[in-house]
Chains A and B, each alone.
Chain A
């Protein structure tokens, strides 16, 4: 049960808080300058047996532009009408700097009032947040407004009514062109592409035209929470609660695509594509979603004691949830004028894109019994009986019990260390909870996949409605059972100045919905997922808190350390194929090859190849390539049969689960100052990166990247860069030879496994409270001014182009998402 701030009886209090924040991106990669980049790409092409990507003529222009001898970033194509880009242009642009502002600004304000009398109390607050985005050309912006009103009223001596009303509105807008594709494209845009063409117009590949002119997307998200609770106390220590929550969400989304233009050599505009639309296309899309969520809780509790030492509390009740939503979407293309992007002012292709109804419901009965003897021996027993609309028939209802017991040794009569240790509680608990692990709201109903007017084979000029075979549903899908054992110790030392809490738990999820088992391909469709796996999770959490004061200085230190691991304990995989879960597999396990090293000369590689055949990994091995280890001694490097019994030369080289998560919170107050420092980090984590942010020139040249962080690659005397005089021979390099369209050196392997552990100064805050005598004269009871910084310092061994907190987030490859930020803020708290 969650509680929020409430009113208290007495004088009315008013409170005002604000804060102002400046956010800047951290850990953005540094693009190579254009000349280095061009030679890097030529080198990767030469290594792959392909022709040079940049001709001598273009390289010449690139150098001249860098030296300032020419001032144009590109020249026209031979056919004369368009500008050249990429391999034909010669500018020197850092695209990260071009697309990200150095800082974004946000401000937040909150005003609240509370008060009341003995019988009735109230609390009201309003808030406002305005936050700008980091994109220079995306103009993304967020505003949030909140209103909260709470009342508590004693209707009669025995009946109390609590109400809580909350309204939140959030408005967000951005350029329509800004999407996952946009982040993917920043890294793969070459520095040789100029921001503006010689006529002064933004170039087509800069994507700036599309962002600035290509239309806006905005959404308005309204949440309204209404809560009413009746508390009836028929007798002393017996309460009956009847609570209803109603939450309404109204979400409206608007997106328009407006024409964006680039310019040709003569300065004539021509239309270009915005997002995935075709050039010159204009359209508007409106979408609305309405959610109604209702939740009821009816329960009662009763406390009583027997002979003053045996204390009991019993509770029993019922709760239910019902979630319903409906959507409607519509679009039209061909706006009459770009200044009126609405459906009423568009003429073609009227489409209703969706209109759906969805719902789910849950219900449950629960009961709890608490018992303690003199606060010395504690016992709690719980039971829940839950049902869900997602499951049908005999699978629907399940019973979930749990029990916990504790012993506060410090309350024993024989405890003599009262002055040293005030509390020494040992706890143990066991619980069985249910989890409905399926994203599908109707997993037992087979659905015919019918897509209206969206087939890609045009019939008579129109997209036809298409249908296909339904997938399989498994009638066996049911609840997962999560059984948890936990033991813990809570100790309070030295007059409660030092508190230590320690927990160790062991949890097994039975009947987990694991990945679908593999069946022969003759089935012709995906195998339905069923509860076929068990997983064990275990770990500990240790928290220590020290609070003390020395004269005018009061301070506290809070340190938390936790660790957990997960392992698969059951899964149907008779061959123990490494491509799926198998018994004993730890979550986050990384299987990879072992690297002996980079061959520094052809002789070194030949000597290695005379013992070990790497032909399944690639061909034409030379200096600057990887020498893989032949772990199973069969003279060949391969993945065996890709099973645990025969993994070939693969082994477990690391684990990507974050281990030993810790945080340290230091705060102190001295007279009118308060300071807080908060560190957070991960003690151990391995990460195998992928994609061009890490490897640089890899895959085909349109997906490659070239950052300064990639420069430490193998170069011998024949290297394109060495011959051009801009880099030295580098045989002790970190990265191997770069190749386009060749992955022989980029397999998951020990050499490139990154250490993703880190320590980060997450928050520093310094506050100053104005002296009372100064402020009481103007009716203020407390005024505090603060300055704070977030993510100011990071210590990590991870590869420079990545942030250890953002690896593994979504995005096309590692690193291609909204960058993590550093924030500096300041603000004021005032109480009247």
Chain B
């Protein structure tokens, strides 16, 4: 019995000891760190880390998803039209969002995190790898921060300048939300680009898929020219800092501006950066074929080739490889159908004849526009090769069953939206002659991000605005562009023959601030830019900085396509020879073209005359649309009185109300 008792007691003690021991080792047992994740203190110490982080932040407009890619980015301008319309042309329909929008700092934080982590280590020489490459990646990050900031300036104008990552404390974050005037932000962007230019190599490690010194210089000229022209043309309005009615009045500390000085500064910066590129990088040769088969034309091929490394003019490009899951569908549309886009008649008519004369000038030799082929005769070679015409070759590696080549047909203007030839003037830029490229999801042609021709044009415009005359470099560049385009390099011929009031019918950019330009040289610089950047997504950017839309407020503009009610109407018949074209107000039928009594030309937005088509009376404008509105939640979060968004440190952009879901007011 006693043994039992002792046994029991000792067993109890044993149990208690066990429990005690397990308690002490318990805490160690519960220490479980992540076993297969990298913690920040272990990262950004080597050249490879920097390269991975930098490329992770690349985000440039390029081909993606389903559609003709960047070649449709000029839709909703006076260059190209799609079957749907954009609310930017309908005052009141573009509404202030409740949340989200461009007031977003995630990418900026990614850049700032890199710079504040890497730069101290870099200065102490603690990053391992090749010095030239490490410097290059640091340069890339300065570039990427500048690129993101420029997106903000374009969309919103004034913007807060933040150079470090911020902690999650309301007071600090609200204070950091204060907007700085746009010219100050532009100077900050240029200083980042200057740092980038200093460290970037001319030939980047791993080739032209990465940012290079020339890309940074070109981009700098773009930023500087944009700011210079914005300040110049929007001078005196609420859209420039210190302008009449500027909403930043009273919100911005230490503010002063001498606008003419700023404009001069930016023009200088633009000229210097642009010429650094234009002097060093030549333009790709154009063999100036007639558009039937441009397969061997380097200038044409540059936009639809799989490997763009061989083209010197291309400074930065994006590659695609469907087998790696990165692809696009550009040629599924551009080669096979109209891609729900098309050039406007105004744009096509704006191109010069190859002798340098505008089409309306006497002795121009213009053959009229009764057919697409006729419009191309003796014209600017860019129009000849970058626009499809019936009978053009489509594929180089397949033929019809009987051995005949596969050719382009008549533009299907009544097709379903996704593939429709909206205007009848089809886009050809970016086309590839290989059959595989036009299979769905198989696009692997490269996408140009920056090309040197922009530097040439930026210099011409900046120097002309600064000097008031075409200086020797500008003359050299302009001739080179025109020569390549197959147009008489003597631009004075064009300038003399230009009649701006005639051009104004076809070109929003004949106006600035609601008045017609009086300077014909300046007008032709703008025209050259419009023609060179055909289908590359630069048009709306240019129209806004030139303030070329004010005239639409009083005089809405109706978009037109090709001359449907001429001989081309006979292309659209069924197998019995009856026309398949249906005009509006035909009883019992849905229209697919506009009325012949209204215009000989196809008017894509005059087909459906129902009041639900908000652009049936033309594109209109309201000045608030030059900038985007800031979403209401951002005001609410930073307001000192949460119920009154007006007490926020942020101010709304001019013409936009502080009310969610409301349209612009002026």
A residues with a Cβ closer than 8 A to B are 42, 46-53, 55-57, 78-79, 86-88, 234-235, 240, 266, 270, 273, 276-279, 281, 298, 300, 318, 320, 322, 333, 348-349, 355-363, 365, 387-389, 392, 396, 441-442, 445-448, 450-451, 455-470, 472, 474, 518-525, 527-528, 574-575, 577, 579, 615-617, 619-620, 638-639, 641-643, 645-646, 723, 741-742
Contacts and interface: CB of A to CB of B under 8 A. Distances in A.
Interface in B90-116: 92-93, 95, 98-99, 103-110, 112-114
A53 B415 CA distance: 9
Contacts of A46: 590, 610
30 contacts: A49-B612, A51-B592, A266-B401, A278-B322, A333-B323, A357-B36, A358-B35, A362-B30, A441-B32, A447-B37, A447-B40, A450-B43, A457-B55, A457-B318, A459-B206, A460-B207, A461-B321, A467-B56, A470-B113, A519-B168, A520-B177, A521-B103, A522-B166, A619-B92, A620-B612, A641-B643, A642-B98, A645-B643, A646-B643, A741-B84
B154 interface: no
B133 interface: no
Given A457-B58, A470-B40, A575 B643 contact: yes
B interface: dominant SS = loop
Contacts of B535: none
Contact of A466 (B8, B52, B84, B592): B52
Contact of A234 (B7, B38, B638): B7
A467 B324 contact: no
Contacts of A468: 53, 56-57, 110
A448 B29 CA distance: 25
B22 A458 contact: no
Contact of B416 (A53, A445, A461): A53
Contacts of B209: 457-460
Given A47-B612, A87-B416, A388-B30, A234 B11 contact: yes
Contacts, number: 275
B483 interface: no
Contacts of B327: 278
A574 B642 contact: yes
Contact of A524 (B30, B106, B409, B659): B106
Contacts of A87: 416
Given A55-B592, A577-B633, 19 more contacts: A49-B610, A56-B589, A240-B11, A359-B32, A359-B35, A389-B30, A445-B39, A447-B40, A448-B40, A450-B52, A457-B58, A458-B318, A467-B52, A472-B168, A522-B177, A523-B105, A523-B166, A579-B98, A616-B661
Given A78-B412, A279-B442, A355-B36, A300 B324 contact: no
B43 A467 contact: yes
Contact of A447 (B38, B168, B206): B38
A285 B351 CA distance: 54
A533 B660 CA distance: 28
A277 to B, nearest CB: 8
Nearest to B25: A363
A363 B26 CA distance: 7
Given A441-B32, A520-B177, A641-B636, A459 B210 contact: yes
Contacts of A51: 83, 417, 590-592, 607-608
B568 to A, nearest CB: 17
A643 B643 contact: yes
Given A234-B8, A387-B30, A723-B588, A469 B52 contact: no
- From B173, B401, B574, residue with most partner A Cβ within 10 Å: B173
A572 to B, nearest CB: 10
Given A520-B634, A527-B168, A465 B19 contact: no
Interface in B441-486: 441-442
Nearest to B400: A80
Contacts of B95: 616
Contacts of A619: 92-93, 612, 614
A88 B417 CA distance: 12
Given A349-B323, A445-B39, A446-B40, A279 B439 contact: yes
Interface in B611-666: 611-614, 632-634, 636-638, 642-643, 645, 659-663
A770 to B, nearest CB: 54
B170 interface: yes
A50 B607 CA distance: 9
B49 interface: yes
A278 B165 contact: no
A53 to B, nearest CB: 7
Those 6 A-B pairs whose CB atoms lie nearest each other, nearest first: A524-B109, A466-B56, A52-B590, A49-B612, A49-B613, A357-B35
Contacts of B98: 579, 639, 642
Given A520-B177, A579-B633, A273 B166 contact: no
B15 interface: yes
Given A446-B40, A448-B39, A639-B98, A458 B321 contact: yes
Interface string B406-419: 00010010101100
Contacts of A52: 590, 592
B84 A523 contact: no
Contact of B336 (A79, A448, A518, A523): A79
Nearest to A356: B36
A323 to B, nearest CB: 10
A520 B52 contact: no
B176 to A, nearest CB: 5
Contacts of B634: 520-521
B659 to A, nearest CB: 8
Given A447-B37, A616-B662, A79 B409 contact: yes
B174 interface: yes
A519 B52 contact: no
B162 interface: yes
